[in-house]
């Protein structure tokens, strides 16, 4: 994610769509913010905002 606000928007969107959410967005001591959810096959996914790597473009 590119910002904490974008992470929150995705959390709310997934909540609205009925995605299995395992926790709510929370801050980490390094400035990151994340939450955990499950994909349709049951894999745990961690959407993440991290100030040092978010917003990068991989070419």
**Per-residue pLDDT tens listing for the chain (59 residues):** 899 999 999 999 999 999 999 999 999 999 999 999 999 999 999 999 998 887 777 67
For residue 33, tell me if it sits in a domain: yes
Task: Supply the pLDDT for residue 45.
Answer: 97
DSSP H helices in 1-59: 4-17
Please state the pTM of the whole predicted model: 0.86
DSSP 22: S
Please state the domain count of the chain: 1
Q: What is the pLDDT of residue 54?
A: 79
pLDDT for the residue 56: 73
Tell me, what DSSP letter sits at residue 15? Answer: H
**Residue 31 CB coordination number (10 Å):** 11
The per-residue pLDDT for 59 is 78
Is there a domain that residue 27 lies in? yes
Task: Write the CATH number for 28.
Answer: 3.30.720.110
Instruction: Answer whether residue 58 is part of any domain.
Output: no
Residues β-bridged to residue 48: 34
Question: Residue 29: what pLDDT?
Answer: 94
21 and 11 Cβ atoms separated by less than 8 Å? yes
Residue 30 sits in which domain range? 4-49
């Amino acid at each position: 994610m590119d910002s904490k606000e974008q992470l929150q928007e995705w959390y709310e969107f997934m909540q609205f769509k009925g995605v299995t959410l395992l926790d709510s967005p929370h801050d980490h001591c390094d400035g990151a913010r994340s939450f955990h959810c499950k994909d349709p096959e049951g894999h745990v996914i961690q959407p993440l905002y991290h100030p040092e790597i978010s917003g990068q473009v991989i070419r």
